[in-house]
Amino acid sequence: MKVTRRDLLVWSAGATAGLLFTPVPWKLLDDVSIWSQNWPWIPQPTRGPVDVKLSFCTLCPNGCGMRVRMAGGWPVGVAGAGCHPVSRGALCPLGFAAHQLNWHPRRLSRVCYRGNTSSWGEARVAFTKACGEGPIMIIDGHPGRAASSAFETFVQRRGSYRVVPGQETRALAPYGTWSGIPAAALGYDLENAGTIVSFGAPLLDGWGTPGRLTRLWAERAAGLADPQLHLIQVEPSFSRTAARAWQYVTIRAGGEGAVAEGVARVLLEEHLVPARGPMPSLTLVEVAEQAGVSTDAIRDLARTIVARPPVVAVADDNNPAIAALNVVLGAVGARGGIVRRSKHIRQDVCAEAAIRGMRAVLIDSTVPWDFVPQTDAEVFRFAAWDGGSTKADWLLPAPGFLEDLTDVPTAPTSGMETYAVAPSLAEAPTEVQSAAQFLSSIDPTLVTVDKVIHTRCSEIFRQRMGTLWGQDVTPVAKFVSVQKLEEELWKGAVWIGEPHHAGGLRCQLNDWPEAIGPARTSNASPPWLVPVLPSLASKLYQESGLRESPEGRSA
Amino acid sequence: MASSVLADSRWIARGAERTSLPQFLLWLAPWAVVLAAGVYAAGLCLFYGLNQTNMDNRFAFGLWIFLDLGMIALGAGAFFTGFLVYILKRVELKPILNSAVVVGFICYSGAIAILMIDVGQPLRAWFTFWHPNTHSMLTEVTFCISCYLLVLSLEYLPILLRNRQLRKLPSFLVFEHQLHNLVPVLAGVGALLSFFHQGSLGGLYGVLRGRPFAFREGFFIWPSTFFLFILSAIASGPSFLILVTAAVEKVTGRRLVPQELFRRLGFISGVLLAIYVAAKSIDTLIWLNVTSPSVGFAPWQYYIYKPFGTPILFTEIVLLGLLPAFLLTYPRSASRRRWLLTAAALACAGVLLNRFVLTVQTLALPTLAFDEFLQYTPSWQEAASFGGVIAYGVIVYSLSYRYLPLFAQPKGQNTHVPGN
Amino acid sequence: MFPGIDGFHWSLGHVLFLSLFFAVALTILVTVVSALWRTARDFRAHRAIELCWRSAFAELPDTERRCRHELSGRVISRTCANGFDCRQCSKHSQFAVLPARGIVRDLGLNYPADRFYHRGHTWVRLEADGTLTIGLDELAEHLIGSPDFIKVPGVGSEIENNETAWRIEKNGTVIRVRAPIEGTVVGVGGPLEGRYLKIRPRRNPQDPATLRHLLRGAEVHGWLSRELERLQLQLRAPNTPPSLADGGVLVSGLMDAVPDADWNTVLADTFLEG
Amino acid sequence: MSARYGMVIDLDRCTGCGACMMACAAENNVPPVPRATPRTGLTPMLVRKVSNGGEGVDRREVFIPIMCMHCERETPCVGVCPQQAVEVDKATGIVMQMPQRCLGCRYCMTACPYHARYFNWWDPQWPAGMEKALNPGVAVRMRGVVEKCNLCHARLHSATQKAAATGKREINPADYVPACVEACPTAAIRFGNLADKHDPLSLEVRSPDTFRFLTRLGTEPKVYYKSKEAWVRALAESNSGSGVETKRG
Amino acid sequence: MARTPLVFGLGLAVALLVGWVAFPRVLYVQRHQPLEFRHKTHAEKSGIVQCSECHAFRDDGTFAGIPSIAICTACHSERIGTTNAEATLVENYIKPGQETPWLVYARQPANVWFPHAVHVQRAALECRECHSPYGESDEVRIYQLNRVSGYSRDIWGPSISRLRRAPHEGMKMSDCEDCHRRRNVEVGCIGCHQ
């Protein structure tokens, strides 16, 4: 029988009709829809038990307390830990996406020598050779850690140890010079202040321990016509802090020091403070000229700030004029002012950009990326993320966020002494080593981070001073063994030292110091210490327009 | 020219004079290129997602929705002519009916094709049928335009089967005959469906409580835009048919329908347009004075942004509403072909402008006090898809015109007069 | 969409909406199914052929649908409304009594008087044994000349009046020749045999009504002269005025002789393609 | 008694730091698609900066976190969705968007007066390996669907689960705190059950400083704002384009 | 003329055959479990009575699902049988400390949140009501993977038409809804989707 075209048509019609009465079209319709709901190229979250661990943010020296949510052994979420007495459960915006930083596209994952892939073995050989040939320098970003201690031990007979301080620490430098007490031992007793005059310091925007200021402001100042805490912002630009301050004084860029001088002059001339001198060199008219504000406004400012004592002035950077204003205000060594929080800290030597006479320089991953030494020495740069161009000879991949055990010493601006331990929560890539591990591999006798932490815990236990803030608040004296104490610290508790003493810090001014212009020209963004932002932060900042795009900053 | 070189002459209806195949292909070629570009652009959108467009979170609807609304409004000629011919027995309109069906089919299939690209998950679009939210105007639109496209396909089928070669198959011819007998039923269903979805397309915006520029009070569940859209669609549909027919006459150089038919269509269009303009004016006044102020929006603020000033409102209602309505109904202007065509074009432009204002201006206007007025320019992918649909329409219409009996011609005309 | 599916509510609006939708969908479905069913019914009832012919007939140009009585001059102007089936025409008997006005004249073609002619250019001859012989008339044969290929129905198959009886292929064109009458094929031939089909008619061949719809005698002349006139118009060289109707004798194999003519139209008109 | 979760955002306390945005995005697995523009990205929580237009000492600025307002009545997005991908949850009052049901027609986005709905214009992408850092409680949305604030429903789930494990029907309110609320360093965002008369939030919404945006649309949003500054409160109903300077991306 | 219905019927028959018989075989891929685990044998030999002894809840109310290798190790730290499966278990998974890559019959996609705690602990449903009495049998089922959707066949249920299926068969959303409707428990989308 011959098959005609008509047969084919009829057959197809039959087959089509038949197909409608089979599951084929309907099941496929359903399955294809399900497929579109579970596209295979869409990332799937990990399955596994969820767990919450307490830890500390190690991105900057402030070490805010964190609750880290873990799923399947990986950190999947970060929130503030309310038990931390300084950060008080608040985090800066970056902290919330910090756990994503370890997968940042600019994460360093291999040893690089002058742009070429190298190995840890070669880096070790090069560094060992350098150690044998001349003095070396280790530059640290977060001083006072166990690793810092290891660095100092390593360089004892081999060279020198330097620190790159943050802006907040630099702002405290004049008091250190005048009092002889290391600036690293000083802090602000903002909790007891009645008026805070900020000269361009981004107090509500990531200054110091971010949560400390925001919590304080929210509790005592926000939304009140005459709040308990007067926050006065003196700044050229209408920053986030200026927008939210109780009073905002707009000045010409670089006029902070002049305003401080003018205010001090009014205070002294009108006897608004007990202090008697020395008198600032600038006249009010000169101040008004330099700062771009009227003399009346300066007088008003001076009268306003003393209306609610105690008063403290906060500088954005090392500015002796502002420090001198604090001396005039009597804020140094006083309740609600600049205080000495601990006894046993020695002055760190600040790293200069120009380094001479060194055979090699090792820069720890905690040093901000924009610190670029000018030197002919061989530079060993540790970093977890690639921040763009660098002059380092060796680029060494360091552990990222929560990938390495570290301890967290007192935050730079804190008014109280703290100590905490941030254990490693995330598995580091195999190609990664911290500077301390690297040095240990060269000098096996070098003290390790966990040993130093143990020693420090023992010291705390031995002195039986302070309190441990964890799930409960327990005085150290109640601990029966150092192991118990250490266990608590490893679980995320914070040790708080004895309350600061108002006394013990005296600054005597003979001459009015010379004002220094601002170190930074732009304070639109806070001094982030990570060379890259979490991808999420980059995205959200770009999309909300809240902050400048990070691309512009890191370039 | 010698007819035997027409390689496809066996497919062309007897007695119909059509241009030579090469010339026809030459005519199609540029449209085919535009269509190919459109298909490519649509493919990009389907494969890579809607990031290929310039739409964004605020301008969530763009050129495509305007195209959909516009095409469906202009395609209303199909249902309305069918309604007039089969239900109201206005047989004098019959010569244009087939053409109207093809125009409708093109408009609706094009609109649905664009919708399928426009939605983010076309594979799940059937959920609307399976889990319908009957409160949504979009559900009504989806149901109705799907059904109506089916109806149009069934109305198109007899025309298709009347092709000279297809009709040689007895089963096709008999089926065509029987289906044709039942077309009045389809015309009735089509009118019902069109009534609802033309209205729902208007309701689509009228129900937007969150967009005071579009929000309208109305009757029962239907905002006033529901009825205005029906009116404007049936008013512009016949005008569009006039334009299409005139364009085909221009391209082919033939008179396809009696000129009396143009005037008749124009008159229908004009009267409906006049009613529409009156209704629209009343609605605008109510909206400006009652509806909008009641939700806290002063009417003046809609018109402070360039280019959406009050002139656009004036243009929509007077220049593209009242004026063509007058021209189409006033015997002296309506009897002049040039005036008639101008008026029809103005009427269609008026409806398109109305759809444009409702889609684009609604989204561009801010709602919150700190919102900004937004701009949006379609990406080339959007524009190409748009062009693709237009080209698709031209190609389908050209093919239909060439091979199918679109305009009922007097029998025997041209039969004995060889073409030149 | 249905009770039990997520999102279905027993609320008035929802049920009303879906009811309306199902009603519409059902109406559309019923329309299509009923069209299909009616189609099948037409085929079963053998009405399909009739329908096809009616449809084709409606498509014919007016000039091709003239009533035989107009051709024979009994009436001034009349268009056939019965698909050339005079057996169904109520007016036929009235016209038959009118005297013929035309004169039979030799047009150079051989149209024997013992044959009956169909408007699709076939002839029927009643044989003594009650069968009918069917062939292509002379005009058609002249038009086609020698065919490239012919396809005739098998012996025993049924043919219907106006249905395609056989196909002739010539220069790539398939010509469908309409059957002049219904019946059973009892023999087949070809151009050489002088006949194409031999059939046993379904109706009684002796009954005059059986062949009433076919032209015969004097009528043939009027019809033929119109056909020739049409051919001359259609086959003339481009841009030449039509030549007179008595412009000579048709040559055989016109399709080969005048290849540039619009054969599509010519053949469609000649063989009532519709 | 079903809950009606709502928020009060104290604008006087908002420093515009963006922690809420970040916490929200991290909690809800918002992909940091590099190619997304400010207008095609996903920001279920978006902080906007608004100023009074003044200069110098007259200048005032306020940061307004905009999110889904969880409208209680005539919810604009619910009625328009053709396939019931949006609903107001009966038990919680959360306006819930179901990306798996969504076909991406974006009608709801045009319906929302707060522009709090976002379309996934891009395929969700994370830097390689980062899927390990995703929140397992929230499914990643595919390209081509609309999403919005679902009031951290993953946290509601955890709380429900925790309660059920101990046989309880009611969740412990302390277990259910949305990420933005938890993250706000100034506690400017407060969360609670508006249906509970004893909830501090129920009292707070009655304060004269509390307002909502566009209440005249009659949608009864459940996200309240609060400010002592009159010009900020005036933003709630003031006409758009009234000269207020705004900034966003 | 009887040819047409015949040819039509032939097309119909072929389509029906392909749709009902061949299609399900093509749509689903058959996968074998990595080990031949027999529930009944385990229950008898170890005296385990409750499902929850192995399929346990965690402290936060989440359900652990298929037990981790640690539970297997408790008894199987050394080979305690002679079967091949026993050898595979000990050599491939227990000794290297690797989790067994079980194919989970009842796995729901990431967008579904099914709280076992709510169903088992609060509503006191029996495991078999959803999971069939599989736990009481010694059967080792073949896992069937839907090529298109990537779901386990258990989600759709064994019957391709989904007609006449037992109450525990099928784990599609409509199955959840049916059960909820029967028990008059109303939840919105948010109740089951994440």
pLDDT digits (tens, 9 = 90+) for B267-297: 999 999 999 999 999 999 999 999 888 887 8
Query: Residue E30, by phi and psi: left (phi above 0), alpha (psi -120 to 50) or beta?
Result: beta
Q: What's residue A28's pLDDT? A: 95
CB of C33 within 8 Å of a chain B CB? The answer is: no
Peptide bond just before A518 cis, omega within 30 deg: no
Q: What's residue C274's pLDDT? A: 65
Distance CA B407, CA D7 (A): 66
From the options 1.20.1630.10, 1.25.40.10, 3.90.1200.10, 3.30.1490.20, give the CATH code of B54-366: 1.20.1630.10
Tens of pLDDT, residues A88-138:
999 988 899 999 999 998 899 999 999 899 999 999 999 999 999 989 999
Residue A182 near residue A347 (C-beta atoms within 8 A):
yes
Mean pLDDT for the stretch of residues B394-404: 94
Q: How far is A27 from chain D (nearest CA, A)?
A: 17
Both tokens of A412, joined, read 């730079």
Q: What's residue C52's pLDDT? A: 84
Q: Give the residue from B211, B214, B236, B232 showing the smallest Cα distance to B223.
A: B214
Mean pLDDT for the stretch of residues B148-175: 88
Q: What's residue D14's pLDDT? A: 92
Query: Percent of chain B having pLDDT more than 70?
Result: 95
Of D36, D48, D247, the CB nearest to A539: D36
Residue C261 near residue B4 (C-beta atoms within 8 A):
yes
Task: Give A522's pLDDT tier (boundaries 50, 70, 90).
Answer: very low
User: Interface partners of E (3+ CB pairs, < 8 Å)?
Assistant: A, C, D
Distance CA D171, CA D240 (A): 41
Residue A84 near residue A113 (C-beta atoms within 8 A):
no
ipTM score for this prediction: 0.89
- Which has more confidence, D101 or A555? D101
Distance CA A379, CA C166 (A): 100
Got the DSSP string for A488-553? HHHTT-EEE-SPPBSSS-----SSPPPP---S-S--SS----SSS--HHHHHHHHHH-SS--HHHH
A364 and A434 in a common domain:
yes
Mean pLDDT for the stretch of residues C173-178: 86
Q: What's residue A524's pLDDT? A: 40
Chain D residues closer than 8 Å to C7 by CB: 83-84
Distance CA C82, CA C94 (A): 15
B66 pLDDT above the threshold of 70: yes
A262 and A397 in a common domain:
no
Chain D residues closer than 8 Å to C6 by CB: 84
Strand partners, A117: A112
Chain D residues closer than 8 Å to E121 by CB: 164-165, 167
Task: Give A554's pLDDT tier (boundaries 50, 70, 90).
Answer: very low
A526 pLDDT above the threshold of 50: no
Cα separations (Å) of C190 from B343, C99, C136, C197, E166? 64, 38, 9, 8, 71
Cα separations (Å) of D164 from A285, A358, B52, D2? 72, 66, 46, 17
Q: Give the residue from A80, A320, A289 showing the smallest Cα distance to A178.
A: A320
Number of domains chain A is built from: 3
Residue B333 near residue B343 (C-beta atoms within 8 A):
yes
Q: What's residue C241's pLDDT? A: 56
A452 and A395 in a common domain:
yes
Query: Percent of chain B having pLDDT more than 90?
Result: 61
Cα separations (Å) of B264 from A499, B81, B278, B323? 97, 12, 21, 18
Q: Give the residue from D96, D104, D60, D54 showing the smallest Cα distance to D78.
A: D96
Residue B366 near residue B372 (C-beta atoms within 8 A):
yes
Reported residue count of chain D is: 249
| Range name among B373-377, C47-51, C70-74 with the lowest pLDDT average | C70-74
Q: What's residue C116's pLDDT? A: 86
List chain C domain ranges.
1-45, 52-270
Distance CA D181, CA D188 (A): 8
**Torsion angle of alpha carbons C200, C202, C205, C207, nearest 10°?**
170
B286 burial via Cβ count (<10 Å: 0-12, 13-18, 19+):
middle
Distance CA E170, CA E155 (A): 5
Chain C residues closer than 8 Å to E173 by CB: 6
Residue A106 near residue A386 (C-beta atoms within 8 A):
yes
Got the DSSP string for B90-142? -GGGGGGHHHHHHHHHHHHHHHHHHHHHHSS-GGGTTHHHHS--TT-HHHHHH
Q: Please list the ranges in chain E whose pLDDT falls under 70.
A: 1
What's the CATH code of the domain at D202? 3.30.70.20
Q: What's residue B307's pLDDT? A: 81
Tens of pLDDT, residues B70-114:
999 999 988 999 999 998 988 888 889 999 999 999 999 999 999
Helices B224-252 and B97-118 pack at an angle, to 10 degrees, of 120
Peptide bond just before A310 cis, omega within 30 deg: yes
Q: Count CA atoms within 13 Å of residue D165 on its CB side.
A: 17
Residue A361 near residue A373 (C-beta atoms within 8 A):
yes
Task: Answer whether residue D67 is part of any domain.
Answer: yes
Mean pLDDT for the stretch of residues B195-214: 90
Is beta strand A473-475 parallel, antiparallel or unpaired with respect to A467-469? Answer: antiparallel
Q: What 3-state class would DSSP assign to A356?
A: coil
Q: Please list the ranges in chain D whose pLDDT falls under 70.
A: 1, 239-249
Distance CA A317, CA A412 (A): 13
**Torsion angle of alpha carbons A314, A319, A324, A329, nearest 10°?**
-10
Consecutive H or E run containing E26: helix E23-27
| Range name among A20-24, A149-153, C219-223, D24-28 with the lowest pLDDT average | C219-223
Residue B137 makes CB contacts below 8 A (sequence gap 6+) with B200, B201, B203, B204, B207, D80
Q: Give the residue from C208, C211, C216 showing the smallest Cα distance to C199.
A: C211
Distance CA C184, CA C198 (A): 8
Query: Percent of chain C having pLDDT more than 90?
Result: 10
The residue assigned the tokens 């297809």 is B166
CATH architecture for the domain at C52-270: Beta Barrel (2.40)
Interface of A with D in 219-278 (CB under 8 A): 222-225, 238, 240-241, 243-244, 248, 250
Evaluate the CA torsion angle A195, A196, A199, A203 in order and state its sign.
Answer: negative
CB pairs under 8 A between C and D: 3
Residue A444 makes CB contacts below 8 A (sequence gap 6+) with none
| DSSP conformation class of C195 | E
Residue B70 near residue B393 (C-beta atoms within 8 A):
no
Give me the phi and psi of B270, to 5 degrees please: -65, -45
Both tokens of B397, joined, read 């219409």
Peptide bond just before A174 cis, omega within 30 deg: no
Q: Count CA atoms within 13 Å of residue A232 on its CB side.
A: 29
- What is the Cα Rg of chain B in Å? 22
C101 pLDDT above the threshold of 50: no
A297 pLDDT above the threshold of 80: yes
Evaluate the CA torsion angle D34, D36, D38, D44 in order and state its sign.
Answer: negative
**Amino acid at position B260, single letter:** E
| Average pLDDT for chain A | 88
Both tokens of B133, joined, read 């939210």
Tens of pLDDT, residues A219-231:
998 878 889 999 9
Distance CA D25, CA D97 (A): 16
Which residue, among B145, B172, B174, B176, would best test binding to C if mutated, counting the most C CBs under 10 Å from its CB?
A: B174
Which residue, among B46, B124, B165, B372, would best test binding to A if mutated, counting the most A CBs under 10 Å from its CB?
A: B124
Q: How far is C7 from chain D (nearest CA, A)?
A: 7
| Average pLDDT for chain C | 81
Distance CA D90, CA E186 (A): 9
Residue D116 near residue D213 (C-beta atoms within 8 A):
no
User: D165 and E194 in contact by Cβ < 8 A?
Assistant: no
User: D123 and A41 in contact by Cβ < 8 A?
Assistant: yes
Mean pLDDT for the stretch of residues B130-152: 93
Mean pLDDT for the stretch of residues A335-358: 84
Long-range contacts of A124-127 (CB under 8 A, 24+ apart): A124/A438, A124/A441, A124/A442, A126/A378, A126/A380, A126/A394, A127/A360, A127/A362, A127/A380, A127/A394, A127/A438, A127/A442
Q: Give the residue from D206, D241, D210 showing the smallest Cα distance to D227.
A: D210
User: D110 and B363 in contact by Cβ < 8 A?
Assistant: yes
Q: Most distant CA pair in chain C: distance in Å?
A: 85
Mean pLDDT for the stretch of residues C114-127: 87
| Range name among A488-497, B167-176, E141-150 with the lowest pLDDT average | B167-176
- What is the Cα Rg of chain D in Å? 18
Its domain, for residue A308, covers 168-344
Task: Give C212's pLDDT tier (boundaries 50, 70, 90).
Answer: confident
Residue A426 makes CB contacts below 8 A (sequence gap 6+) with A74, A75, A99, A102, A400, A401, A402, A403
Q: H-type helices in A354-510, by residue range?
A: 435-442, 449-463, 482-490
| Average pLDDT for chain B | 88
User: D103 and B122 in contact by Cβ < 8 A?
Assistant: yes
CB of B177 within 8 Å of a chain C CB? The answer is: yes
Residue B134 near residue B183 (C-beta atoms within 8 A):
no
CB of D15 within 8 Å of a chain B CB? The answer is: no
Give me the phi and psi of E119, to 5 degrees please: -80, -40
Of C28, C32, C63, the CB nearest to B415: C63
A411 and A380 in a common domain:
yes
The residue assigned the tokens 């407060």 is D190
